[in-house]
Amino acid sequence: MAVVKDITIAEVPGKFDDILDVRSPAEFAEDHIPGAISVPVLDNDERARIGTIYTQVSVFEAQRQGAALIARNIAQHLDTTLRDKPKQWRPLVYCWRGGQRSGALAHILAQVGWKTGRLQGGYKSYRRHVIDSLASAPDTLEFKVVCGATGSGKSHLLQTLAAKGAQVLDLERLAQHRGSLLGNLPNEAQPSQKMFETRLWDALRNFRPDRPVYVEAESRKVGILNVPDAILHRMRASSCIAVEAPLPARVDFLLQDYAHFLQNPQLLEDNLRKLTELHGHKIIDAWCDLVHQGQWPALVERLLANHYDPAYRRSSVACYPQLKDALVLQALQLDAAGFELAADELLSKENQP
């Protein structure tokens, strides 16, 4: 008789060819194990309907109708998503808590002849593992915090460092946000908080503790998402690298990096209006006039001088006490070639005895 093997989260890496998430598409979209494939045995509407029957009619009736739906959906997956899997295929199946949904699919896959595992405790056990790891893993790593005023190309420097093989924790990339009022990426929503934490966990678990991890200085929030406390505390206690770039270069860089706002002036104005309480109507109206006139360099200079640079000075001094002793990196050229030079210089200085 085919047997489904119960697997703990610690046993997962390297043992399975595919990880199958049988929860509903909505549950999968909120968060899932990295690399998992969505193979729902109940879709969103079906799950809601069975839940209503469970609470309002009877447990038995919910189980009867749920079993029928699950059987039909599993049959469809066998004829579509799973039809080309070879005899030697090894799947791991999980649902919310390792119960009936994953049990049903795992049982049938095992009966087919595939060596099938089921995650003990399901997604709940995985989620607990992520939370525990995020609380402890940062203390095992040496962070190097890249600081610098808005427009000094910190994110691009991190990307260049990563391309050169350095260990990089790119919080803004993982959060899909540039970390400021104007940081929303065009046509790209941020992930859920749980998905953000999964991405962080996935990055941290692949870092080696004997090599530094470069990370950009951030506040507690990146857009609508919260940086976990343990990561934030570790960053704020770490040594810093101060990137310095001349104002004209920063202005030109920002005009290129935020070009989508130039193509949608109304969106830019709507975002600037959100700063009225902080700066007052007179200053905001003046900034919006520059938007209407298309005076982009003048607008960027004023935003830097009156909003971003003062905010950076306040937050960096308060949050990163080691910034006063930072390694200074001059970034005179904020383009691909300039970031290559800056990354090489940084890695050279960091590797000096």
CA distances from 17 to 10, 12, 118, 176 (A): 16, 10, 13, 29
Protein fold of 5-131: Oxidized Rhodanese; domain 1 (3.40.250)
What is the pLDDT at residue 329? Answer: 94
What is the pLDDT at residue 347? Answer: 93
Mean pLDDT of the chain: 94
Annotated domain spans of the chain:
5-131, 141-350
What is the pLDDT at residue 352? Answer: 57
Low-confidence ranges of the chain (pLDDT < 70): 1, 351-353
What is the pLDDT at residue 14? Answer: 82
CA distances from 243 to 128, 158, 219, 323 (A): 37, 12, 17, 11
Distance CA 107, CA 94 (A): 12
What is the pLDDT at residue 186? Answer: 77
What is the pLDDT at residue 335? Answer: 94
What is the pLDDT at residue 263? Answer: 87
Residue 7 contacts residue 118 (beta carbons within 8 Å): yes
Distance CA 151, CA 98 (A): 47
Nearest partner of 213 among 224, 198, 200, judged by Cα: 200
Residue 257 contacts residue 155 (beta carbons within 8 Å): no
Protein fold of 141-350: Rossmann fold (3.40.50)
Tell me how many degrees the CA angle 262-267-268 measures, rounded to the nearest 5: 55
Residue numbers annotated as active site: 95
What is the pLDDT at residue 13? Answer: 83
